[in-house]
Structure 1
């Protein structure tokens, strides 16, 4: 999946939420172009012109460039007359009729990945409540990007790699040992716990599909996992709970990760054990792995 495609859905959803939670009528934003220090405005929401579309904002320039360079939110009451920013982008901002503007950087693992903007067509101060709501939206985008990054890294780890001196023919093996497979299992559990926190239904579905690929990845003889001819079907939440249990989590810890009460976790676990024909938590995890439900 291309980087621009990965970010577009998150930005589009974030702009709608930003307008809804802040009350600002206009929002726009984008991600940093691959390998650069420039943000390309990918998505617009509430605009009346296309003046801002595909605008490239460089680090340090304008309000968004200032937020990009400082890695923190910035705002101005009257964009065109502000003495606190440079004015390379006045023309498109004026064409859209924007006055009060805020810019919030999207920061993932200490690296700025993009910028979200919210704006008014009047020169009014943007209070702390408005800025805080915009920051909260940016944090959700950051979490979504982290999950996407993790999913892509895990999927890359399952791609076949030739052994030393071997080609990539039909007989090529996958050089993944027990330790590496345990890392895949641990990461799978983390992803399953993160999925329920994602608000975008399309992104949730994509991440669940990625988890499914990891659970059935064609790695050589992973410990305790042999796919049955008649696999058992579990509810998504039952798989979530088993993924946490497989990582050694108690019911209370699993509940914290999944946003559930310990009693609810226990109920899902009992249901999964019954479907799997297991008498203990460990037996349930082993049975789920043999059924290809867990890596």
Structure 2
């Protein structure tokens, strides 16, 4: 089970818990160790070392229920000398514990950045309380594992930040590229009106027509309802130009620009200048 399905590079935290449990069993001489991860406020027991049955495997421990639930709720270690007769805990899971035959248990929370991410257990089948050595080993193991998981979390955070920045840069690059295409398109149309060579003018207009089809699924509308001058005006409006600015760039009077714009809006069935620009882009008349 992958802790973070969005990050295939991150090792499974469950494997880290199992490895920690094995080391702790050897160091503390505990007959049985087990544990699990917390998801959505519920502790799922999935890692076991030294068990004889599958009675506890897959148990879901609710906050406040049993020894593990108490640790989950209070976020601090707890222990019982005889699980079945302990008065300090609820007995929701007695059947599974009895089937495994364990009695003396210590449970330690795995706390990462103030949140309980799991619980580690050490247990024996005798009723004598587990000694300080076992409890200390469990607490130390939990702290070390919490530090490792915190590092993994930080790596995940930085990777996500890097991916977000890269996505923003891609988006910014796309916007800059689109704006550059629109600038070139508008300039080509202005140049076409200024040249006296008819063949060159046609080549410039053809280049602008091809630019208009970039970035859209629509093919340039060969039967455009707009006149060349109406396209010229809309190209300037698409750059954010006012009527006066468009007039200056196109060497026209502001009233003439306004007239062309009104005509283009009417032909495109647009109610505003910006709606006209959007409609023209959808029809492949503007980039």
TM range (shorter): 0.5 to 0.7
Structure 1 residues 158, 85: closer, same or farther in 2, change over 3 A? same
Ranges in structure 1 where 5+ consecutive residues have no aligned partner: 173-295
Aligned to 2:246: none
Aligned to 2:152: 148
Measure the CA separation in 2 of the matches of 1:95 and 1:167. Answer: 63
CA drift of 1:113 comes to 0.7
Aligned to 2:33: 27
Q: How does 1:157-168 map to 2 (within 5 A)?
A: 157-159=161-163, 160-163=166-169, 166=172
* 8 Å Cα contact 2:122/2:134 also seen in 1: no
Q: How does 1:1-295 map to 2 (within 5 A)?
A: 2-3=2-3, 6-33=12-39, 36-159=40-163, 160-163=166-169, 166=172
Measure the CA separation in 1 of the matches of 2:118 and 2:171. Answer: 42
Aligned to 2:277: none
Could you say which structure has the higher helix fraction? Answer: 2
Question: What TM-score do you get using the length of structure 1 for normalisation?
Answer: 0.54
Structure 1 residues 77, 157: closer, same or farther in 2, change over 3 A? same
Measure the CA separation in 2 of the matches of 1:154 and 1:97. Answer: 45
CA drift of 1:157 comes to 1.7
Q: How many residues align?
A: 169
Question: What TM-score do you get using the length of structure 2 for normalisation?
Answer: 0.55
SS of 2:109's partner is strand
Measure the CA separation in 2 of the matches of 1:10 and 1:164. Answer: 36
CA drift of 1:17 comes to 1.4
Structure with the greater alpha carbon radius of gyration: 2
CA drift of 1:168 comes to 7.7
Measure the CA separation in 1 of the matches of 2:48 and 2:152. Answer: 22
Aligned to 1:188: none
SS of 1:3's partner is coil
SS of 1:118's partner is strand
Aligned to 2:260: none
CA drift of 1:165 comes to 6.3
Runs of 4+ in 1 over 4 A off after TM superposition: 163-169
Measure the CA separation in 2 of the matches of 1:70 and 1:122. Answer: 26
CA drift of 1:10 comes to 1.1
Q: CA RMSD in A?
A: 2.3
SS of 2:110's partner is strand
